[in-house]
Every structure is written in C-alpha cells, then in structure tokens.
Structure 1
Amino acid sequence: MIRSALWKPESWERDAVPSRAQIAKSLERTDEALEDLERYYGPQYAERVYQG
C-alpha cells in the first residue's frame, strides 16, 4: 500500500477509468445516448448533487 502511490494524483491514469457517463450507459441507463449522458454527468453535475 505504501509503495502504490495511490494518494499521488500524478500517478493516476485518467483514461484507465471510465467516465460516470460511460458507467451509467453500460449499467443503469442503457437506453439513453452516451452524448446525452455525458452532457448530464458533465462538470455541472457535481454542482447539482452537492447543493446545500
């Protein structure tokens, strides 16, 4: 665990993990277009989810 460098963002491979939209398309919302899901789960998604 110590040598894994998981806590160092520079060691992360961003393309190795599917986007939230890709996960939703394959598991939850299979009937929706990926482009629509990418728009829905875009940068503004976090703002909508974490509004107080």
Structure 2
Amino acid sequence: PVCLGESLARMELFLFFTSLLQRFCFTPPPGVSGDEVDLTPVVGLTLSPRP
C-alpha cells in the first residue's frame, strides 16, 4: 500500500525545516563548544500503528 499524501508530507516537512534554518541561528547550549557537538546521523526505525 502506498500513501497518496506521502510526497506532500515530505515536501511540507522540508519546507518547515528549511524555514526554521533560515529564520533562526542554532548554537550549542552554554558551556558546550562547537567541537563537542556530534552531527553524525543516527539510523533509526520509525514505528507506525497497525490498521
């Protein structure tokens, strides 16, 4: 089964996060240097409820 709204949802998420990155300046919390921040992606698992 394919979700007809999946491509729309992905596009909306992309636009949402893009607008956040354009409007705000993201910095590490006080006491943490930029070198200490680990930006390595973590592979995860998305769970969905059963129909």
TM-score (norm 1): 0.29
Is the radius of gyration larger for structure 1 or structure 2?
A: 2
